[in-house]
């Protein structure tokens, strides 16, 4: 381990020190508190897509709308399944006619906090992301014009689009589908995880083991890439995984250093969004943390450290949004 000596000391006696409330430990805890950021209630809202109740409500309908797929049975919620951490808990996404895609389905939860979208970061924001899976041949396989035609058949959708985009001459448009979906997704956040409550001053919110894990996460350098409120730097990294791979970020940039590189995923709700990595080849948090230690940090975590970090990752599961299924026309 390449831990800073002070940090290592803290990791060893952290819980005890916490209980004792020693001044030195307080100082160190101040340091950890400064390393991390709790999740704000809402992600940044883009200037050209203000967050309104009308857009969120419409976006929710569209999110559950299987008519946006060629088959008529696949909606965004099929793979971003609210019952399964807003992902699918499969190694790689399964879409139109049972085709299995290249990559693991990322959770929608807190996706508004991500600096960019998709495993290869090819879209800067949720507006850019929203129309991708609808049209992808191995996902919803839908022609966008046909999707708009299907929606425009229903008076209820005409009303909802007009209410959400009152100044548009043609409210039902691909752009507005994206705006509405992005707006709904910006409301799917998981505040008040034990980690957030701890950062906001509730010292009992995490277990002692989770606090040790948080320290180890910082001390061992995990936080270098998993930083910020969503615990991702939004940057691209390359490492070896079992199972299939693809060119990753290289497809977007053509840069050699981006070959096989994938964006750091958020760790928020990581305990409920298994399996892991871009090809979903790793089933458990233990194996995932172990692999990251070896490949990204060049070190083998001892069992205690590994268990502590995994315990900490469980503290990143927040309150899941409660969503009533909308009645569609």
Q: Using CB under 8 A as the criterion, which residues of the chain lie in contact with a second copy when the complex forms?
A: 64-66, 71-73, 75, 78-79, 81-84, 88-90, 94, 96-98, 272, 320, 322-328
Q: 40 or 326, CB closer to a second copy?
A: 326
Provide the minimum distance between the beta carbon of 107 and a second copy in the complex, in angstroms, as a whole number. 13
β strands within 251-317, DSSP E: 261-263
215 annotated to a ligand binding site: no
Beta bridge partners of 248: 261
| Residue 79 marked in a binding site | yes
CB 64 within 8 Å of CB 325: yes
**Dist. CA 232–CA 265, nearest whole Å:** 6
CB of 324 to a second copy, least distance (A): 6
312 in the Ramachandran plot: left (φ > 0), alpha (ψ -120 to 50) or beta?
alpha
Ligand-binding site membership of 237 (annotated):
no
Say if residue 225 carries a ligand binding annotation: yes
How would you classify the pairing of strands 261-263 and 236-238? Answer: antiparallel
- The residue among 197, 212, 85, 75 whose CA lies nearest residue 139 is 75
Contacts of 287 (CB under 8 A, 6+ apart): 276
* C-beta closer to a second copy: residue 180 or 272: 272
User: By the 8 A CB rule, do 77 and 88 touch?
Assistant: no
Q: How far is the CB of 103 from a second copy (least distance, A)?
A: 15
278 marked ligand binding residue: no
In the complex, least distance from residue 318 CB atom to a second copy, rounded to whole angstroms = 12
DSSP state at residue 275: S
208 is catalytic: no
Q: Considering 139, 153, 255, 300, which one is annotated as catalytic? A: 139
Give catalytic residue positions. Answer: 139
**Which residue positions form the known binding site for heme c?**
76, 79-80, 96, 222, 225-226, 292
**Which residue positions form the known binding site?**
76, 79-80, 96, 222, 225-226, 292
């Amino acid at each position: 381990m390449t831990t800073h000596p002070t940090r290592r000391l803290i990791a060893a006696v952290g819980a005890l020190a916490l209980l004792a409330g020693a001044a030195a430990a307080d100082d160190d805890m101040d340091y950890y508190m400064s390393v991390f950021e709790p999740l704000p209630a809402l992600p940044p809202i883009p200037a050209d897509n203000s967050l309104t109740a009308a857009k969120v409500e419409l976006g929710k309908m569209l999110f559950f709308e299987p008519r946006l797929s060629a088959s008529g049975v696949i909606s965004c919620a099929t793979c971003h399944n609210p019952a399964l951490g807003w992902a699918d808990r499969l190694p790689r996404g399964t879409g139109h006619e049972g085709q299995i895609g290249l990559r693991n389905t990322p959770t929608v939860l807190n996706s508004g906090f991500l600096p960019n979208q998709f495993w290869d970061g090819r879209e800067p924001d949720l507006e850019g992301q929203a129309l991708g899976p609808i049209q992808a041949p191995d996902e919803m396989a839908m022609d966008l014009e046909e999707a708009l035609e299907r929606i425009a058949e229903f008076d209820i959708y005409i009303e909802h689009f007009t209410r959400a985009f009152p100044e548009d001459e043609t409210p039902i448009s691909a752009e507005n589908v994206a705006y509405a979906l992005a707006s709904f997704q910006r409301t799917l956040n998981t505040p008040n995880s034990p980690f957030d409550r701890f950062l906001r001053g509730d010292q009992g919110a995490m277990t002692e083991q989770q606090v040790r894990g948080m320290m180890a996460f910082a001390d061992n350098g995990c936080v270098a890439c998993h930083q910020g409120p969503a615990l991702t730097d939004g940057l691209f990294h390359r490492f070896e995984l079992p199972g299939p791979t693809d060119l990753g970020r290289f497809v977007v940039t053509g840069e050699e250093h981006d070959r096989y590189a994938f964006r750091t995923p958020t760790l928020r709700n990581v305990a409920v969004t298994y399996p892991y990595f871009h090809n979903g080849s790793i089933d458990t948090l233990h194996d995932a943390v172990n692999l990251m230690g070896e490949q990204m940090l060049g070190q083998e975590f001892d069992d205690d450290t590994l268990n502590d970090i995994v315990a900490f990752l469980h503290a990143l599961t927040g309150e899941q949004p409660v969503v009533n299924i909308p009645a569609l026309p």
